[in-house]
Amino acid sequence: MNRILTRVREDIAVVFEKDPAAKSVAEVLLYPGLHALWAYRLSHRLYERKVPFVPRLISQIARILTGGIEIHPGAKIGRRFFIDHGSGVVIGETAEIGDNVMLYHQVTLGATGWWKDMKSGRVKRHPTIENDVVIGCGASLLGPITVGAGSKIGAMALVIDNVPPGSIVVGAPATVLRRARMSDTELEDASRHIG
């Protein structure tokens, strides 16, 4: 029980850290991204225990209640995860998300197509997002790609290739604007143009 309370407190603290509009705990408790995350955690535990049907039921009820945040119970999500605004976010079954990752609304972490994976069972079809990544609104990251730690993905980007750590990526199809050798100030300036 202590571990659960610690996680809940951490989830609330992350909202205050990442959203300057957050004014009180009561207000933060209304955030649909927080509801989606908590529903995901419950469904993921049941999914790992191979409970049939219920994990997907929880994820679909959460999708309805959160304005369209759909997180498959099979996805793996690290600590300090934050979805800002949230509506229209889709996170696929084999997606893996590291620690301290932030998504804006309408982000898709999806597969490139079911037809490629039909015969091979449960294979990696969705992106891996490493630690400290920010993904701007409307971005689509598709397939079993990896987005390197500390990267920033711009709004409406279409990412279908691996992204090196510390990169800034924009456009459809995505183009790497800068790679890791940026100073902290340059990264902060560039990230202001992403969300």
Q: Scan for tokens 């300036």, then name that residue.
A: 189
Structural domain that includes position 103: 2-191
Question: What is the identity of the amino acid at 149?
Answer: A
In CATH, what number is assigned to the domain containing residue 76?
A: 2.160.10.10
Share the mean pLDDT of the chain: 90
Residue 3's pLDDT is what?
A: 86
Task: Answer yes or no: pTM beyond 0.85.
Answer: yes
User: Per-residue confidence at 194, pLDDT binned at 50, 70, 90?
Assistant: very low
Q: Give the residue numbers annotated as catalytic, written as ranges.
A: 85
The residues, ordered by sequence, that sit 6+ positions from 23 with a Cβ below 8 Å of its Cβ are: none
The residues, ordered by sequence, that sit 6+ positions from 7 with a Cβ below 8 Å of its Cβ are: 41, 79
pLDDT for residue 70 is more than 50 = yes
> What is the tally of structural domains in the chain?
1
Lowest mean pLDDT across 5-9, 45-49, 97-101, 180-184: 180-184
User: Per-residue confidence at 103, pLDDT binned at 50, 70, 90?
Assistant: very high
Cα gap 49→33, rounded to integer Å: 24
Query: Secondary structure of the chain in the HEC alphabet?
Result: CHHHHHHHHHHHHHHHHHCCCCCCHHHHCCCHHHHHHHHHHHHHHHHHCCCCCHHHHHHHHHHHHCCCCEECCCCEECCCCEECCCCCCEECCCCEECCCCEECCCCEEECCCHHHCCCCCCCCCCCEECCCCEECCCCEEECCCEECCCCEECCCCEECCCECCCCEEECCCCEEEECCCCCHHHHHHHHCCCC
Lowest mean pLDDT across 40-44, 57-61, 110-114: 110-114
